[in-house]
Chain A
């Protein structure tokens, strides 16, 4: 149980285009989903927290107009990188938490490798 998927696993795009990444909880309802960014050989940096049906809460320094997050259902959250540039190239990981989680346990997706040319 507690499986989270991400699609696509890898994407290459041209500078200036937008890219959408999907995060799905496959066997549970995720009231809260988190989006992280990870640079090579570094830790995870939380970008934003999204609760189903409400606006995402972005961490300081993360551009909300650049990284659009939608959490329209209890099993799906999307991250759209708008007008992508090479510096947006990174490994993006989502995680999900159930409504009844007492311990803030998060289940992570396999990640999406974004390369912007």
Chain B
């Protein structure tokens, strides 16, 4: 069964500092992986996705993530945090096969706080 583990429910960084949000997955087949961001009282916005092409994926707002099969990880990074990055971040996994009922399995989320 697929699962996603996000280490650290709360992460706090200073403005301008490196952002690192951790995500580990378990999947029996090569997965598709996603990072979503959620601002308060809003839906989820896709930051980036891994689809078996390049292992380093660049997304919106300066975020990127690297797929490491050996570590079963897909950590999200941003070189320099901005105050507007403060939000909840969710990692999600989907099995890599076609099908009308494929589901996304979400991690428990990491709340990122950015200190001035």
Contact = CB atoms under 8 A, between A and B. Distances in A.
A5 to B, nearest CB: 10
Contacts of B44: 44, 93, 95, 108
Interface in A65-95: 91, 93, 95
Select the residue from B32, B43, B94, B108 with max chain A CB neighbours within 10 A.
B43
A23 B102 CA distance: 19
Interface in B73-116: 90, 94, 98, 100-104, 106-109, 111
Main SS of the interface on chain A? strand
A102 to B, nearest CB: 7
Contacts of A41: 111
A111 B41 contact: yes
29 contacts: A4-B43, A6-B43, A32-B100, A41-B111, A42-B109, A43-B107, A43-B108, A43-B109, A44-B44, A44-B90, A44-B106, A46-B104, A51-B100, A51-B101, A93-B43, A93-B44, A95-B43, A103-B32, A104-B32, A104-B94, A104-B103, A105-B34, A105-B46, A107-B46, A108-B43, A109-B43, A110-B42, A110-B43, A111-B43
Interface of A: 4, 6, 31-32, 34, 41-44, 46, 49, 51, 57, 91, 93, 95, 102-111, 113
